[in-house]
Structure 1
Amino acid sequence: MTIKTVRIASLLLGGCIAASVFSGPVFAIGDDSSTMPTCKKGEIYDKKAKKCVKQQSANVTDENRTDYAYSLAKAGRYDEALAMLDTVKDQNNAEWLNYRGYATRKLGRTDEGISYYLQSVKLDPQYAKVREYLGEAYVIKGQLDLAKEQLTTIKAICGTGCEEYQDLNAAILDPSKI
């Protein structure tokens, strides 16, 4: 091979490697890997179609709507999250109640958020995420004893290595992390 051929091959190989690095999947930075992309107001992310669609014409499941509401809340769009949760037909499940509590709490209505969390706990006492958020609400209210009870329960559910335990423990140690 000539030097020119080797250089061209090297450039092509380098380009392919760079393209593969930059064309991989994009993951949102955050503390919950289950969140999905958020769309413009009036749209919803359809997990099945893998794109944003108009909310009124969307034929998406309650689970999709609930997950999307959580993504909106994680993006700080709490009022939109609550409005999305209002479109869910089955509102009597632990996840829906947890996400409603989360968005409500983030809007500063901590007591109302706690009421949703407690309903969620009744439906699924082993749901670690709701225990984390309930504990964070207790930290906000200065009720560290109740927050620590939730931390103990989370430890029994998933151990000290799970995200829920670590996040609540960090919030108890430094409430500014909430």
Structure 2
Amino acid sequence: MTTLTMKNTLLALAATASLAFAAPVFAAGGGSDGDSSGGGDANKCPAGQVYDNAAKKCVKKSSQLNDNQIYLFARQYAYAGKYDEALDMLKRAKNQNDPRILNYYGYTNRKLGNVDVAMTYYKKAIALDGNYLLARSYMGQGLVLQGDIEGARVQLVEIRDRGGKDTYAYKALYEALKTGSTY
């Protein structure tokens, strides 16, 4: 095997490996709204605790959490499928009109099957921040669930026209329109 062939083979393997790790992040929506400070593993924490990235461990829920921390923990719970915990966390936010908080009320309700309730939260989030692409994507996915394909396409175009064509928000809604499956 020549050096060039070996080099190309290694590059192909590296590219394949990186794609294998990228797919779960897309499916889970990790970092989907530009905030990489969240994360952790909500599945590791017992009831009444949240994962603290800085401490790298589960800690007791505290009234000392600020709205950004509450948002991150709620998102973490929602992506882990712990919707009741996500809703409990969201209720603790001081600013109930934060578009991020409203969006995750919507996401959690949609995942619980309360699509009509979810749509009211998405609409409020978008009214406060028309450029909140993830709220537009999740709203579009709710529209797909309701059978309003044209409404979902409108949201896809809005995301694209607001500069979001290369984002998770666009890709997730595009896939939902193509397959009927939502995130």
TM-score of the two chains, using structure 2 as the length reference: 0.76
Could you list the per-position Cα deviations for residues 9-56 of structure 1 after superposition, in whole angstroms to 9, with x for gaps in the alignment? xxxxxxxxxxxxxxxxxxx8433234412122101233454432111x
Corresponding residue of 2:5 = none
Corresponding residue of 1:9 = none
Q: 1:40 to 1:158 in 2, by over 3 A?
A: farther
- Count the aligned residue pairs: 150
Q: 1:158 to 1:32 in 2, by over 3 A?
A: farther
Corresponding residue of 1:93 = 98
**Does the 8 Å contact 1:91/1:97 carry over to 2?**
yes
The CA deviation at 1:59 is: 2.1
1:123 paired to 2:128:
yes
The CA deviation at 1:176 is: 2.7
The one-letter code matched in structure 2 to 1:32 is: G
Corresponding residue of 2:155 = 150
**Does the 8 Å contact 1:47/1:64 carry over to 2?**
no
Map of 1:97-176 to 2, 5 A cutoff? 97-176=102-181
Corresponding residue of 2:64 = 59
1:36 paired to 2:53:
no
Q: 1:50 to 1:157 in 2, by over 3 A?
A: farther
Corresponding residue of 1:14 = none
Map of 1:70-81 to 2, 5 A cutoff? 70-81=75-86
d(CA) in 2 for partners of 1:156, 1:115: 23
Larger RCO (CA within 8 A; separation ≥ 6): 2
For structure 1, which segment, 33-42 or 97-106, has the greater mean C-alpha deviation from structure 2 after superposition?
33-42
For structure 2, the residue ranges without an aligned partner over 5 or more in a row are: 1-23
Corresponding residue of 1:21 = none
**Does the 8 Å contact 2:175/2:181 carry over to 1?**
no
Corresponding residue of 1:45 = 51
Q: 1:40 to 1:58 in 2, by over 3 A?
A: farther
The one-letter code matched in structure 1 to 2:30 is: D
TM-score of the two chains, using structure 1 as the length reference: 0.78
Could you list the per-position Cα deviations for residues 119-159 of structure 1 after superposition, in whole angstroms to 9, with x for gaps in the alignment? 00000000100000000000000000100000000001224
Moved over 6 A (4+): none
Instruction: Give the superposed CA RMSD.
Output: 1.7
Percentage of identical aligned residues: 37
